[in-house]
A and B are shown apart, each in its own frame.
Chain A
Amino acid sequence: MDATQTAGGPSPPLPIPDNFPVTWESPTDEMAFWHIDPIHFPTTVTPAMEIFGDAFTKGLDRSFAAYEMPIRLQYRRINTYFYTGNSLPVPPDQLEAQGAKAEARLKEGVAAFPDRWENEWLPEVKEHLAFWDEFDLDGASPDALAEHFDQTRVRLARLWDIHFLLEVPAILSMSLFDEVFKDLLGEEDTLASYKLLQGQGNKTVDGGHGLWSLSKKALESEELRSAITDNPSEGVLPALSATAEGSEFADEFRRYLAEWGQRTDVFCELGSPSWEEDPSTPLTNLKDFMAQPDRDPEAELSLLAVEREKSVADARERLAGYPEEARNQFEFLLARAQSGTKLHEDHNYWIDQMSSNKVRQMVLGVGRRLAAAGSVDSANDVAYLTPNEIREAALSNGTGDRRTTVTERKAEMEHFGAIQPPPIGTPPPEGEPTDPMGIAMMKFFGARPKTSDSADVVSGNAGSPGKVTGTARIIRTLADADRLGQGDILVTTTTMPAWTPLFGTAAAVVTDAGGVLSHCAIVAREYGIPAVVGTGNGTTVVKDGQAVEVDGSAGEVRILA
């Protein structure tokens, strides 16, 4: 393939380790560079997730084509891990011309995305979500269920078109604003520009605040307080149901879950129950918030908003004598980056969380038929079937024995779960990206971490400003989150929005993956806590219980003892 004929010669494909055998689907696959996306999918995923892999790939293809971007990204499940494959859709000698076209398209995209989201995309997203809500999963005929499954996949792929049509210009707008801010004001502080984007609130933050207001209510009554704090998570709802006041509160909590609980602890994972199905995580958050009765997160957010307006006014004053074109660019990108910051989180609620839950519930509908027919042990085992197998199960109304398959697949995930998934395929040329979108993506995924000079210092990307000292808690799954105490430092691999209520408890957050535009960094800024993101190895270098100092602006974690 011509794509390898770059100056300096092609890199050879990476060797494939013996413990990680790979069979390529097509010979050109090996020309792409395949690696784990450590923000979204750091761990193994179930076979049913190929439904998502297919939707992501289609959504990426169609949105990159819409913006004429010379990138191809595929998601594929390899040895139980979600791999992202990067390749070039055009020969290298056409890259520059294609890049110029993309720049023009992206500029239009940056101008238009806030309006398009509001007037075009969000209404369409709601229409798709209603489609799933309206379907009678348990009453449908096998044919209708299989047809519904097909429709589900088509609509899911369309939702991911919208996802990337929005996210590409949203992330780009924040990155471009950061650059224009630094260019014009000569600001050295890496995080200074983000002060002008903070304190707007968003769906991720709203979800946390909803729990805070429930926690305030629970604290007003001794009966509610003891039912929640004196019981383990699984005992809370039964204890509440024992009294009239408690039942009323439990209903309110369920209404909260109906709105905010359509998310899973593990990002998009079809095999992971939603908060609505298993409320342990929000109950842990609720208990944490009740332990901090004096805090008022809404007021904290308002303060961030005041600080934002002050930073905006200050920047405008400094720019007063600048050329009009420069001031216009600043204002144009400020407005887009503010929208982008908010929509970067809001879309996650509307698309990532909602669509994964709708698809999970749909697939569980098939799972219930399988379980009823004795084909699997529990409805949730449906996640261990591939998309084609799920469709076939819908058509056959769950008959046939799939228990061996499920057991083998679980064993396979366990086997590979213990192996660090290696990068495979053909690595891209070395060097940092220079095109605007490449730079923006690097701010999202994070630059390669610098190696620290000192054994006691873990370096990462500056994520959210501030310096704080606390006890490190290595938390790898949300099930483990109750170990996080007030004022502790949350050290983890990655945080998707389901993790962020913990930002109300943690004094700071440190992640292995991510950049200054990752969900983690953005939400940490909205909670006003320091964050160091994309350390690469924070969870292995820092030990649980160690005292550490987190310097969010410097992007450094210092191990004190």
Chain B
Amino acid sequence: MANLEFPWLGEQGAHDPRSVGGKAANLSLLAADFRVPPGFCIPSAAFDAVGPKSRDLDAREQDVWAPETEAGERFGALIGAAYSLLAGKTGTPEPGVAVRSSGIDEDGQSASLAGLHDTFLNVVGAHPIADAALKCLASAFTDRAIAYRRDRGIDERAAGLAVLVQYLVPADVSAVAFSADPVTGDRSQVVINANWGLGESVASGTVTPDTFTVSKTDMELSGTPVWDRTVSDKASMTVPVPGGVKEVNVPKMMRSMPCLDEGKATEIGQLAVALEQHMGYAVDVECAFMGDVLYLLQCRPVTTLA
């Protein structure tokens, strides 16, 4: 049996996309230099023993984790051990996590499979995480997902498909930042969209976020780098609730309150600039503040730039 160690983001073992998938490997590389929420990868091989029967495309069935089998028990114990470690790293007895697939076909540089594979947000506890991981894997074997891979010449059996289990930071504010204006292409400024709560409402466009424009040169000169601020009437936000996340109304008194102050907007601007320099291209950054701590959640190239 393959090595069943679960590598952690930022560790050498999680840098290899062939083992942990493209998405996790990208985050792992970033985690070595930036503050990425802690998480561990369940490598493709770890599933072999617990029943990716679905990988036999002719005899596909819904994968169910059977904790009472010997293999299932071992799988559960590994998840349990990793979850305890995560609790220690986050300083939270029962941290909520996001369980996502991380595939070889998801290198973060091209069209992603997001939307085809199930993602489970705010999963709490080892047993539910094990369940979610198996369901996540199973979701890669729907007819649609298989056809998608076939059409793109990717291994239909999705060898190397891994699952990433990462701390879901209960964010006060989430933001998407562009190190170049995605509309005008202007590279002298960072454009930030932000809203209260988790990032889903910003990413999915269900709400008009606050917009901040931060000047790159003024940041270096430590002047007043926030050039422009448009505070919008933020009607809703995404929040973690038991068993998932939920879109709720923003209380009236918070709706027109800017969700970032100048200092925090500048900090996000600095992160975007650092990432741009690190990656060598203009970046699209997802990040979140919990208290005064800024977490990097995702970093991709700005795809709209010529």
Binding site for B on A (CB under 8 A): 107, 176, 179-180, 182-186, 318, 320-326, 329-330, 436
Contact = CB atoms under 8 A, between A and B. Distances in A.
Contact of A329 (B96, B240, B242, B254): B254
B32 interface: no
A183 B241 contact: no
B254 A325 contact: yes
B252 A323 contact: no
A183 B250 contact: yes
A261 B253 CA distance: 42
B237 interface: yes
16 contacts: A176-B252, A179-B251, A180-B251, A184-B251, A321-B239, A321-B241, A322-B197, A323-B172, A323-B197, A323-B239, A324-B291, A325-B196, A326-B196, A326-B237, A326-B251, A329-B251
B277 interface: no
Secondary structure at chain A's binding surface: helix, strand, loop or mixed? helix
A323 B251 contact: no
A325 B241 contact: no
Contacts of B250: 183, 326
A179 B252 contact: yes
A66 to B, nearest CB: 21
Contact of A323 (B96, B196, B241): B196
B72 interface: no
Contacts of B246: 186
B171 interface: yes
A436 B291 CA distance: 30
Interface string B242-274: 100010111111100101000000000000000
The 10 closest A-B CB pairs, nearest first, are: A321-B240, A321-B170, A183-B249, A323-B172, A180-B251, A323-B196, A324-B172, A322-B239, A183-B251, A329-B251
B122 interface: yes
A175 to B, nearest CB: 11
A320 B252 CA distance: 20
B173 interface: yes
Nearest to B235: A183
A186 B238 CA distance: 12
For A322, A323, A324, the residue with the greatest tally of chain B CB atoms inside 10 Å of its CB is A323
Nearest to B247: A186
A436 B255 CA distance: 14
Contacts of B122: 321
A184 B246 CA distance: 10
B242 to A, nearest CB: 7
Given A318-B242, A329-B253, A329-B254, A323 B237 contact: yes
A436 B239 CA distance: 25
Nearest to A319: B239
Contacts of B254: 325-326, 329
Contacts of B291: 324
Contacts of A324: 172, 291
Contacts of B248: 183-186
Contacts of B170: 320-322
Nearest to A185: B248
Given A184-B249, A184-B251, A320-B170, A325 B257 contact: yes
Nearest to A328: B254
Contacts of A183: 248-252
Interface in B186-228: 196-197
A247 B91 CA distance: 68
Contact of A321 (B96, B173, B249, B259): B96
A501 to B, nearest CB: 38
A322 B249 CA distance: 12
Contact of B252 (A185, A322, A436): A436
A321 B249 CA distance: 15
Nearest to B172: A323
A445 to B, nearest CB: 21
Contacts of A322: 170, 197, 239-240
Nearest to B253: A329
Given A184-B249, A185-B248, 20 more contacts: A176-B253, A180-B251, A180-B252, A183-B250, A183-B252, A186-B248, A318-B241, A321-B96, A321-B170, A322-B197, A323-B172, A324-B291, A325-B172, A325-B196, A326-B196, A326-B237, A326-B239, A329-B251, A329-B253, A436-B252
A330 to B, nearest CB: 8
B253 to A, nearest CB: 6
Contacts of B196: 323, 325-326
Nearest to B291: A324
Nearest to B196: A323
Interface string B30-45: 0000000000000000
A326 B238 CA distance: 12
B34 to A, nearest CB: 23
A321 B248 CA distance: 13
A417 B12 CA distance: 89
A387 B94 CA distance: 70
Contacts of B96: 321
A183 B250 CA distance: 6
Contacts of A329: 251, 253-254
A107 B173 CA distance: 24
Interface in B171-192: 171-173
A289 B198 CA distance: 55
A183 B253 CA distance: 11
B167 to A, nearest CB: 12
Contacts of A185: 248
A326 B240 CA distance: 13
B219 to A, nearest CB: 25
Contacts of A182: 249
Interface string B84-114: 0000000000001000000000000000000
A318 B248 CA distance: 12
Contacts of A436: 252
A436 B122 CA distance: 34
A186 B240 CA distance: 13
For B172, B240, B259, B291, the residue with the greatest tally of chain A CB atoms inside 10 Å of its CB is B172
A183 B173 CA distance: 17
Contacts of B173: 323
A326 B239 CA distance: 10
A323 B242 contact: no
For A318, A325, A436, the residue with the greatest tally of chain B CB atoms inside 10 Å of its CB is A325
Nearest to B290: A324
Contacts of B197: 322-323, 326
A207 to B, nearest CB: 35
A176 B253 CA distance: 9
A325 B246 CA distance: 17
Nearest to A181: B251
A182 B252 CA distance: 11
Interface string B149-174: 00000000000000000000011110
For B197, B237, B239, B291, the residue with the greatest tally of chain A CB atoms inside 10 Å of its CB is B239
A503 to B, nearest CB: 33
A107 B254 CA distance: 13
B128 to A, nearest CB: 16
Nearest to B197: A323
Interface string B116-142: 000000100000000000000000000
A179 B122 CA distance: 26
A50 B43 CA distance: 83
Contacts of B253: 107, 176, 180, 329
